[in-house]
Amino acid sequence: MRRIRIGIDVGGTFTNAVAIDTASFSILAHTKTHTTHRAEEGVAHGIVTALRKLVRKGRIAPEEVVLVAHSTTQATNALLEGDVVRVGIIGMGAGLKSMRVRRETNIKDLELAPGKMLPTCYRFLDTKRNFTESVIRQTIAELQQEGAGAIVAAEAFSVENPRREQLVLNIAQAMGLPATSTQQISQLYGLRMRTRTAVINAAILPVMIATTELMERSLHETGIHAPLMIMRSDGGIMDVKGMRERPVLTLLSGPAAGIAGALMYASVSEGIFLEVGGTSTDISLIHHGQVEVRTARIGSHKLYVKALDTRTIGVAGGSMIRVRNGEISDVGPRSAHIAGMPYEAFSSILDLHDAEPTLGAPNPGDPPDYVFLHKEGKRFALTVTGAANQMGLVPDHDYARGGQKNVSMSFTKLGRLLDQTPEKAAEAILRLGCKRIAAAVQELIDRHELQRENLRLIGAGGGASTIVPYTAWLLNLPYVLAPNNSIFSAIGVALAMIRETIERSLVNPSEADLLSLRQDAEAMVLAMGASPETVDVKIEVDTRRSLVRAIATGATEARLLEKIRRPVPSHQRSNVAAATLETETDKIRTLAQTDFFTAFTAPKVVTRMFGLIKHKQQPIVIVDQHGVVRLTFERAELLEMTAGDGRERMKQFLDTLTHYGDSGAHIPAIHLAIGPRLIDFSGLVNSSQIISLGAHELKQTKAESPVLLMADLKN
């Protein structure tokens, strides 16, 4: 019997669904449905439609499905459109601190988007004088009478003792109200920010619970009893229980789906990733197989929610064209799908025959300077996709490849309106649109001081070929289009790892603190269904903010990565290293090797000051057994050892590389290759933390197993 993973991705224009056979990781079927922004059930309606179409098309038996995962824009849409309930906040405290607790928990109405407010109401309970179940019930009833549709329980230091917050939450739920406690959202101190995040979470609980119930009901109607997972904004997936409690974690899950595809399916370890849809382009930097994580915001409000660091630009394949004073003036942000217009590239040539260019507002409230084709009440969008086709940039059989006669006819008419050739009009469109994307990419390059010689653009999404080639040309960078790019994000959702992040406020954390946090994070992903042998935990220590973070990831089945990627012979790995280091294969040397990883180098001489100054460099790449580059170093120190003598040799290695300055000891970023896992210790701040957590990892493997320790000496 087949074992099938289903991934569903919700984009601004389309909802894509894909079925993947876990034995061969071949794509069994995929479907594309318009995203249902205006449906009563929201985008969930499109998710259900896509799932049912996929099951029929792939002739999938319910018992064959082992996992269903989907991304969702439902939470984001609910906030941006004001589809939220009034939130009743119950602040709790006693004694001299009561005034501060009142001030920090009494969150006034929040502006989510221009003209869209999240209304609140508030009560304070003194936990020493009158804190009983009957008083709590009466307080919740009063908040209900003021219109509260969800409750937040907020108390200072509840991260240490959540008992009272949990009591309020339990009573509210027993009264039929969805509720959130602040310690559910975050275990960090900072009561105001914790409460604000809990308020936003509570405001979308009703709509998100309804969405989840619709999904579960639809699965059961099709006979599928596989786990249902939802994409998080930090690039992982979580189970339905997590969705019911913390839907705020899904706020930016759309861009995260594409990045999951880049990491898991396309095996991207270095590069700038551009996911191009019909409405917008998401841009992110992938370094050492990871994407930076940032603190999420809604409007001007900072939240205790982590999201992948993605820049979204309102230009994509479906972006419409704007004209002022007889010249093309801008591209977007209105897209063809949101305007309800078919693309010129995919329309019937008979429909386009008598259509003429017209200036107007695609939707009520839009500027009147958009140009589109009009014929007898029908409107057809002139788009970036049409321009890329006109310029001959879209390959045959690509998803964005349109009818060439359609495109030629449409751009001839546009050129006539503007008194220029069709090609000149098309190039102006691409130049204006891609210039904005190129500027965002250049800002990433400058901010992270990236070396251009080792940099490339990776394009995915249905509109990748309409944007990425021209953007790469503007930046003078190489590019590659990902496989199956039109359904790339859906594949990413299907293959995404379970993920959980725990943050705690700890001053000078001890080794025991770090190990305890690690074990708690590991237990959480195991509880959601991660296979034990796939779990990795990264610890980060922020001494400036007295914050410690544990990020745990794990796959839902053992050897998932090994099934996706097949081992390759050593000469192929050498070829990969040579391509990465931009040299010939015969100049590649092997520095170190384990059963799963090989360290390659190719020494080179770098000249400066017109050749007057020369110095040698030894860049290093770490290639895994599947031929995937996992790490790159400009300068690094390596240590080969076995797990049995690892602790002592690790200490000697770190002592040698530690240097001391005015602010104390400084250690390089450390990575540990142990078995098939690559463990990142770069977030730790001193040798004892690395040795403690490293020794814990070494104990999990056989004493004779080869291990590779790597120190990044770039800085």
- Answer whether residue 38 shows pLDDT above 80: no
- Answer whether residue 563 shows pLDDT above 60: no
Average pLDDT over residues 353-380: 91
- Answer whether residue 559 shows pLDDT above 60: no
Q: Which two tokens stand for residue 78?
A: 């609910």
Q: Which two tokens stand for residue 600?
A: 């390659």
Domain boundaries, the chain: 4-78+209-260, 84-200, 263-314+433-492, 319-427, 497-561, 591-712
**pLDDT digits 0-9 by tens, 599-649:** 999 887 666 666 666 667 788 999 988 888 888 888 899 999 999 888 889
Average pLDDT over residues 43-48: 85
Question: What is the average pLDDT value for the chain, to the nearest integer?
Answer: 88
Q: Where are the alpha helices (DSSP H) in 160-306?
A: 163-174, 182-185, 191-221, 240-245, 253-264
Average pLDDT over residues 280-288: 88
Average pLDDT over residues 249-258: 82
- Answer whether residue 142 shows pLDDT above 90: yes
pLDDT band at 111 (very low <50, low <70, confident <90, very high): confident
Nearest by Cα to 9 from 561, 494, 553:
494
Please say whether the beta carbons of 632 and 454 come within 8 A.
Answer: yes
pLDDT of residue 217: 87
pLDDT of residue 618: 85
- Answer whether residue 65 shows pLDDT above 60: yes
- Answer whether residue 91 shows pLDDT above 70: yes
pLDDT band at 379 (very low <50, low <70, confident <90, very high): very high
Higher pLDDT, 138 or 679: 138
- Answer whether residue 256 shows pLDDT above 80: yes
**Do 263-314+433-492 and 84-200 have the same topology in CATH?**
no
In sequence order, what DSSP letters do the residues of 106-153 get, joined into one string?
---PEEEETTEEE-EEEEEEETTTS--HHHHHHHHHHHHHTTEEEEEE
Nearest by Cα to 272 from 449, 436, 457, 451:
457
Nearest by Cα to 257 from 273, 278, 239, 240:
273
pLDDT band at 508 (very low <50, low <70, confident <90, very high): confident
Is the entire prediction scored with pTM above 0.75?
Answer: yes
Q: Tokens 């995919």 map to which residue?
A: 346
Query: Which listed CATH number (3.50.50.60, 1.20.1250.20, 3.30.420.40, 1.10.20.10) goes with 4-78+209-260?
Result: 3.30.420.40
**pLDDT digits 0-9 by tens, 651-705:** 899 999 888 776 677 889 999 999 888 889 988 888 989 999 998 888 888 889 9
pLDDT of residue 686: 86
Architecture (CATH level 2) of domain 263-314+433-492: 2-Layer Sandwich (3.30)
Q: Tokens 């095996």 map to which residue?
A: 267
Q: Where are the alpha helices (DSSP H) in 607-685?
A: 646-657
pLDDT of residue 715: 60
Q: Where are the alpha helices (DSSP H) in 391-510?
A: 404-418, 422-447, 464-475, 488-495
pLDDT of residue 306: 77
Q: CA angle at residue 422 from 416 to 428, to 5 degrees?
A: 110
| Assigned CATH class of 84-200 | alpha beta
- Answer whether residue 254 shows pLDDT above 90: no
Fill in the DSSP letter of residue 451. -
pLDDT of residue 605: 66
- Answer whether residue 505 shows pLDDT above 90: no
32-45 per-residue burial string, b: 16 or more CB within 10 A, e: under 16: bbebbbeeeebbbb
Please say whether the beta carbons of 47 and 70 come within 8 A.
Answer: yes
